[in-house]
Amino acid sequence: MPGIDSTFLALPYRRLGDVALARAADLGASHADFRFERIRSQRILVRDGSLQGAADADSVGFAVRVVHGGAWGFASGVVLTDDEARRVAETAVSVARVAAAMTTTAVELAPEPVYDDVTWVSSYEVDPFGVPTADKTAVLADWTVRLCRGAAVDHATASLLAVQENKYYADLAGTRTTQQRVRLQPGFEAMGGTSAVFDSMASIAPPVGRGWEYVVGGTPGTAWDWDAELDEVPDLLADKLKAPSVEAGRYDLVIHPSNLWLTIHESIGHATELDRALGYEANYAGTSFATPDQVGRLRYGSPVMHVTGDRTIEHGLATIGYDDDGVATQEWDIVRDGVLVGFQLDRPMAALMPELNGGRSNGCAYADSPGHIPIQRMANVSLQPAADGPSTEELVGRVERGLYVVGDKSWSIDMQRFNFQFTGQRFFRIVDGELAGQVRDVAYQATTTEFWGSMEAVGGPDTWRLGGAFNCGKAQPGQVAAVSHGSPTALFRDVRILNTTEEGGQ
């Protein structure tokens, strides 16, 4: 496994951190932390065999966060000198002094052990930034050419987003962490139509915390089966273009992880962020129906529902060794046996409600750049499989009249994370336990507790897979974070199905 990039190690982050923290301590800060980041990203887009654009970005900077007089103060800079480190620390303390006059409840941080000079690197084999852009572009171009050979395909696109994130954290307590993580989002989409309908079919390959081996292969099991998808997607698109429109009504659903991850994200992941549940996001992205007073009492779903938060799972997009509060990351239960039992916490949130997680943060602080203050962000929130659970085929076999749902697409959910509807890429009719071709114009609609309460069975470990997204948004000013969600295939009974064309009045 690669180590920390030598070009990051050559940057003066340790010296700047020592200078900034010493100045914050001299000015009387009761807590101070220093965060130095370098974020490298690359985007490549290809259409019909031709490069449409390639963009590289590299940002470097640092931030100082303090507690002074019971209030937060924060400042950041990009000039890598000792004088600037002192100035940023002084500015953070000045901000805290102003904020103290408006702070009615003093900031407290949940306790955490000291981690002295530890290093963590995410699990990957080939750094995508060490692969020539021309080589990556050639792979994407080949994908689109192969897709365009399909009779139903008029155009095809392929894209790649790669990120390498380096971060150094130090605080007055003595914690110092140096970390590196790599994440990758390759994908493609085929588009086509007839005189009556136009549609598309995309890869269901999830974004991952892996390197370039996810695309071209490495150790067995590291690469997605791109060849199989490239062969099947044109035919799937052709079938979808000919498929009948769904008849609205109530159906049993067998939902594949490539669709269910997004429902987990919106109806469980966001709903169990403690800051949201306490009203911190009320003026921007809403609150939550799942409030802390319901821990141990709220029937979130059926007894087969077991949901965990996890910032340690290998290849997860939200996986890290230590968060931006200096907390060692963990795995914990959020829903167990269908009942709400936990929330996602950073150190300030854990101090507000010490009855959760034993009074300790579960490692959910994150800032997406040195210019932003850390906030409580989502862990890899996942639905767990049943140890001896059924296969996808066995779940389909239990359904007389239903739909098999594959791939995510559009979604809608209210500000309390309760009323929702989700669409998907591929909907296959199930008739007497057998798949019977695709249908179009489908959305499933429910409330969160109704939907998860209708879950009759979850598949076994062989059906479980991580999905996820690079672009989860939160906070003001807005921040974006990457997060994964694992899920098995699952069976839901008697779910309301809408015909989206009829609902749209067309």
Asked if the structure places residue 255 within a domain, the reply is yes
Rounded alpha-carbon distances, angstroms, from residue 322 to 14, 37, 80, 179: 17, 14, 24, 8
Listed in sequence order, the residues at least 6 apart from 107 whose beta carbon sits closer than 8 Å to its beta carbon are: 67, 70, 71, 72, 348
Give pLDDT, residue 195.
82
pLDDT of residue 211: 98
Question: Once rounded to an integer, what is the mean pLDDT over residues 168-189?
Answer: 98
pLDDT value of position 194:
87
Judged against a pLDDT cut of 80, whether residue 67 lies above it is answered with: yes
Output the six-digit token pair for 349. 């949130």
Kindly report, residue by residue over 206-245, the tens digit of the pLDDT: 999 999 999 999 999 999 999 999 999 999 999 999 999 9
62 touches 37 (CB < 8 A) = yes
The pLDDT assigned to 100 comes to 97
Cα 481 from chain centre: 7
Find the DSSP H helices in 286-385: 347-352
Domain match, 440 and 497 both:
yes
Looking at the fold, whether 434 and 347 belong to one and the same domain comes out as yes
Q: According to the model, what pLDDT value does residue 2 have?
A: 85
Q: Is the dihedral of CA 210, 214, 216, 219 positive or negative?
A: positive
Tell me the one-letter amino acid at 114: V
Asked, for residue 1, whether it belongs to a domain, the answer is no
Instruction: With CA atoms as reference, report the closest residue to 439 among 246, 202, 234.
Output: 246
Task: Fill in the DSSP letter of residue 250.
Answer: E
Distance, CA of 53 to CA of 432 (rounded, Å):
48
**What is the domain-level CATH number for residue 143?**
3.30.2290.10
With contact defined as beta carbons under 8 Å apart, do 366 and 481 qualify? yes
Q: Specify burial of residue 379 (Cβ count, 10 A radius: 0-12, 13-18, 19+).
A: buried
pLDDT at 178 over 90: yes
Provide the total of helices (H) and of strands (E) in the chain, helices listed first. Answer: 12, 24
Q: What is the pLDDT of residue 283?
A: 87
| Residue in the block written with tokens 């009323």 | 419
Domain final position from 223, 242, 261? 242
- In a domain, residue 181? The reply is yes
Of 214, 242, 270, the one marking the end of a domain is 242
From 185, 213, 242, give the residue that closes a domain: 242
Task: Report helix, strand or coil for 96.
Answer: helix
Listed in order, strand segments (DSSP E) in 139-206 are 155-171, 176-193, 198-202
> Is the same domain home to 175 and 299?
no
Overall residue count recorded for the chain in this entry: 506
Query: What distance in Å separates the CA atoms of residue 29 and residue 20, rounded to the nearest whole number?
Result: 11
Is residue 280 domain-shared with residue 417, that is, in the same domain?
yes
Would residue 179 count as lying in a domain?
yes
Q: How far apart are CA 502 and CA 247, in angstroms?
A: 10
At 342, give phi and psi (nearest 5°): -160, 170
Q: Give pLDDT, residue 506.
A: 57
User: What is the distance between the alpha carbons of residues 351 and 347, in angstroms, rounded to a whole number?
Assistant: 6
Mark whether 330 and 224 lie in a shared domain.
no
Is the predicted pLDDT of residue 432 greater than 60, yes or no? yes
3-class secondary structure, 258: helix
C-alpha span between 42 and 282 (Å, rounded): 34
SS3 category, 160: strand
Q: Is there a single domain that holds both residue 224 and residue 281?
A: no
How many beta carbons lie within 10 A of that of residue 197, not counting itself? 14
3-class SS shares of the chain: helix, strand, coil, % to 5: 25, 35, 40
CA distances in angstroms from 94 to 21, 75, 100, 149, 289, listed in the order given: 15, 9, 10, 63, 38
First to last CA, the chain: 54
Alpha carbons 246 and 437: distance in angstroms, whole number: 11
Phi, psi angle pair for 84, to nearest 5°: -70, -35
Q: Which residues, including other chains, have CB under 8 Å from residue 479's CB and lie 6 or more apart?
A: 367, 368, 369, 372, 375, 377, 473
The CB density around residue 3, as the number of other CB atoms within 10 Å, is: 9
Whether the predicted pLDDT of 433 surpasses 90 = yes
In which band, very low, low, confident or very high, does the pLDDT at 196 lie, cut at 50, 70 and 90? confident
On whether both 433 and 483 belong to a single domain, the answer is yes
Please check whether residues 111 and 134 belong to one and the same domain: yes
pLDDT band at 284 (very low <50, low <70, confident <90, very high): confident
Q: How many domains does the chain have?
A: 2
Q: Is residue 421 domain-shared with residue 364, that is, in the same domain?
A: yes
Q: Token digits for 347?
A: 């150190």
Alpha carbon 154 to chain centroid distance?
A: 32
Whole-number Å distance between alpha carbons of 9 and 56: 21
Rg (the chain; Cα; Å): 24
**What's the confidence (pLDDT) of residue 256?**
98
Global pTM reads 0.97
Q: Is residue 486 part of a domain?
A: yes
Helical spans, DSSP H, in 197-346: 213-216, 226-242, 257-264, 274-277
* Cα–Cα distance, 14 to 170 (Å, whole number): 8
User: 222 with 296, same domain?
Assistant: no
* Token duo for residue 116: 């002295």
489 pLDDT higher than 80: yes
Q: Flag whether 117 is in a domain.
A: yes
- If asked whether residues 236 and 257 sit together in one domain, one would say no
CA distance 255 to 459: 10
pLDDT band at 400 (very low <50, low <70, confident <90, very high): very high
Asked, for residue 265, whether it belongs to a domain, the answer is: yes
φ, ψ for residue 144, nearest 5 deg: -70, -35
Query: To the nearest whole number, what is the mean pLDDT of the chain?
Result: 97
Q: What is the pLDDT of residues 337-374, one digit of tens each?
A: 999 999 999 999 999 999 999 999 999 999 999 999 99
- Range of 407's domain? 249-503
Kindly state the average pLDDT of the residues 122-126: 97
pLDDT digits (tens, 9 = 90+) for 131-170: 999 999 999 999 999 999 999 999 999 999 999 999 999 9
142 in any annotated domain: yes
| Residues 123 and 317 sit within 8 Å (Cβ to Cβ) | no
Taking residues 297-321, report their average pLDDT. 98
Based on the fold, state whether residues 313 and 421 are members of the same structural domain.
yes
